[in-house]
Amino acid sequence: MMETTTKSKRVERKEEIRKKILDVAKDLFLKHGYESVSIRKIADKVGISPTTIYLYYQDKSDVIYALHQEGFKALAIQFAALKNVEDPFERLKAMGRNYIDFSLRNPDFYQLMFMIKDPIEFVERNCASEWEEGEEAFGAMLATVADCKEHGYFGKLDLHSIALHIWFVVHGICSLKLQGHLDHVVKSHIQEGKDAYALDDAFETLITIMKGIK
Amino acid sequence: MMETTTKSKRVERKEEIRKKILDVAKDLFLKHGYESVSIRKIADKVGISPTTIYLYYQDKSDVIYALHQEGFKALAIQFAALKNVEDPFERLKAMGRNYIDFSLRNPDFYQLMFMIKDPIEFVERNCASEWEEGEEAFGAMLATVADCKEHGYFGKLDLHSIALHIWFVVHGICSLKLQGHLDHVVKSHIQEGKDAYALDDAFETLITIMKGIK
DNA sequence: CAAATATAATTAACAGTGTTAATATTTTAA
DNA sequence: TTAAAATATTAACACTGTTAATTATATTTG
């Protein structure tokens, strides 16, 4: 017997390789985008055979889902930094800004997290509708909106309706920006010089409207 | 000389085949989704060799772009039916409803039009930033928002800011619904029974907020 | 320690994908 | 009818995810 630790060395090594595969996938993903993540390229970079990956992940979508989770962890860190903002409406504003900034700084992650079908389908198939990471993020927002309501914001509107609404706006901004649709429309229909400010304008408009709800 | 018509028979036949390719692509697309549209499958169904398609479309993304345009034409028809709604705010509401309904009835088209990178990249590369179809749709909305403003809606907010904002919300609703994110969040965080109404609730909230702007 | 067993990794192969170059066929013009 | 132009095809390249069968490597047992 050699299992003095909770994990035997074999299991340990297995987890190491599993992590290495994910790290290489993440590296490829961030450097060359979603489309460039292929089983064969990952295997090459790790130094193993393509089929070996299937001993550690059941699927390609399983690898993609693991990346998806990494993204949610990174977003959670962004949100966690806001716990000490006292004024609830300022905290809500900061959350929105952080969300948008995250999408701009990690466009590939954002697309994977909110704009691509594969990972969420993987959740539906394999995770029995738990999925802590996503619920946590939305929960944090719900709490802040509730806090705002207690301070007199948002009138008689329902808590969940407000929270969802803000998410819709912010996701709308991010997703249309990332796909180039926003720039396209702004370039065609709105005065010159506003190009770069479209995003800030959009956020300002949201804040103005939300603050004005009686 | 036989070119009594503006188009010679050769050009006519060429356009016929070009259209046939597009029709088959559309059929495959609507029946089996975006991922199932492959050059080889289209060629099989048309009854030509895969490489022949490259004599009519420069690329696969060219075919996809043609589908993308079909989608915008369909949406334009939905919007055109609203010209005779007199009250501007009611017209704006109807536009929003039509937009959402379109996304639900033609989820694949909607994804192609607003959630997938390929077609808009094709526009950027090949169309010298004109692209009438998209500008027309947004223009129709801009006009309606302007009309609303003249009737006292939306306070001092900028015309373009309001129009963009509404688009963000509505697109946020549609895209998160289509990817399954909305259902996922609603199922986890919101009371039972609201499942099916999440979309209507979202739209109602938008209307309430927009109407309340002073 | 050696043999038997369980685990891990590999090669070969299947069925796809977009796309290009070279070749063959058909249609048009002289 | 023959030369030229347009159209279509076959063969091939370099990829993709994935599975079955096989080999190599550890681990456990006799």
Read off the pLDDT band of A160 (50, 70, 90).
very high
A115 and chain B in contact, CB less than 8 A: yes
- How far is it, in rounded angstroms, from Cα B23 to Cα B35? 17
Per DSSP, the residues of B86-118 read: -SHHHHHHHHHHHHHHHHHH-HHHHHHHHT-HH
- Domain annotation covers residue A52: yes
Which is more confident, A130 or B121? B121
Report whether pLDDT(A183) > 60: yes
Q: What is the DSSP letter of A111?
A: I
State mean pLDDT over A168-178.
97
**Which residue in the set A135, A175, A184 is minimally distant from B189, CB to CB?**
A135
Cα–Cα distance between B164 and A182 in angstroms, integer?
9
At B198, is the pLDDT very low, low, confident or very high (cuts 50, 70, 90)? confident
A53: the nucleotide nearest its CA (via C1') is: C9
Buried residues in A108-139 as b, exposed as e (16+ CB within 10 A):
bbbbbbbbbbbbbebbeeeeeeebebbeebbe
In this structure, are B128 and B163 located in the same domain?
yes
How distant is the Cα of B121 from the closest Cα of chain A, in angstroms?
A: 8
Q: For the segment B14-55, what is each residue's pLDDT rounded down to a tens digit?
A: 899 999 999 999 999 999 999 999 999 999 999 999 999 999
Q: What value does the mean pLDDT take over residues B67-89?
A: 93
Indicate whether A36 and A72 sit together in one domain. no
Interchain CB distance below 8 Å, A129 and B188: yes
Claim to verify: residue B21 and residue B99 sit in the same structural domain? no
Interface of A with B in 173-212 (CB under 8 A): 173, 175-176, 179-182, 184-190, 198, 201-202, 204-206, 208-209, 212
User: What integer pLDDT is reported at residue A198 of this predicted model?
Assistant: 86
State the nearest residue by CA to the C1' of D8.
B52
Write out the residue range of the structural domain in which residue B193 sits. Answer: 68-212
Same domain, B127 and B101: yes
Report the gap between the CA of B11 and the closest CA in chain A (Å).
33
Structure tokens given for A45: 């970079």
Residues B141/B169, Cβ–Cβ less than 8 Å: no
Tell whether B4 is covered by a domain. Answer: no
Cα dist. B189→A94, A131, A137, A164 in Å?
A: 22, 12, 11, 11
Residue A104 sits in the same domain as residue A168: yes
In a domain, A4, yes or no: no
**Structural domains of chain B, count:** 2
CB-CB under 8 Å, B176 with A167? yes
Tell me the CA–C1' distance in angstroms for A210 and D26.
Answer: 63
Residues A123 and A179 in one domain: yes
Question: For residues B65 and B29, is the Cβ–Cβ distance under 8 A?
Answer: no
Contact B124, B99 (CB under 8 A): no
> Which of chain A's residues have a Cβ under 8 Å away from the Cβ of B198?
164
Sequence-distant (6+) residues with CB within 8 A of B166 are B92, B96, B141, B145, B206, B210
CATH code, domain with A87: 1.10.357.10
Chain B contacts of A182, Cβ < 8 Å?
164
On whether residue B115 sits in a domain, the answer given is yes
Average the pLDDT over B147-160 and give the result: 95
Q: Where on the phi/psi map is residue B87: left (φ > 0), alpha (ψ -120 to 50), or beta?
A: beta
Look up the CATH number of the domain holding residue A20: 1.10.10.60
- Let me know whether A105 and A51 are in one domain: no
Q: Is residue A22 part of a domain?
A: yes
Instruction: Indicate whether B83 and B134 sit together in one domain.
Output: yes
Chain A nearest-CA residue for B123 = A184
Residues A121 and A190 in one domain: yes
**Residue B62 belongs to a domain:** no
Mean pLDDT of A182-201: 79
Mean pLDDT across the stretch B156-178?
96
Whether A46 and A139 map to the same domain: the answer is no
Are residues A95 and A48 both part of a single domain? Answer: no
Residues 6+ apart with CB under 8 A from B183: B177, B195, B198
B176 → closest Cβ in A171, A180, A185: A171
DSSP A129: T
Residues B145-182: b if buried by 16+ CB within 10 A, e if exposed: bebbbeeebbeebbebbbbbbbbbbbbbbbbbbbbebb
Interface subset of A 147-176, CB within 8 angstroms of B: 155, 157-158, 160-162, 164-165, 167-173, 175-176
Chain B residues lying within 8 Å of A164, measured CB to CB: 182, 185-186, 198, 201-202, 205
Contact residues for B14 (Cβ-Cβ < 8 A; gap 6+): B56
pLDDT for position A133: 81
Same domain, A100 and A206: yes
Selection from B165, B187, B144 nearest residue A182 by Cα = B165
Nucleotides of C under 7 A from a protein CB: 7-12, 16-22, 27-29
Q: Is B191 left (phi over 0), alpha (psi -120 to 50) or beta?
A: beta
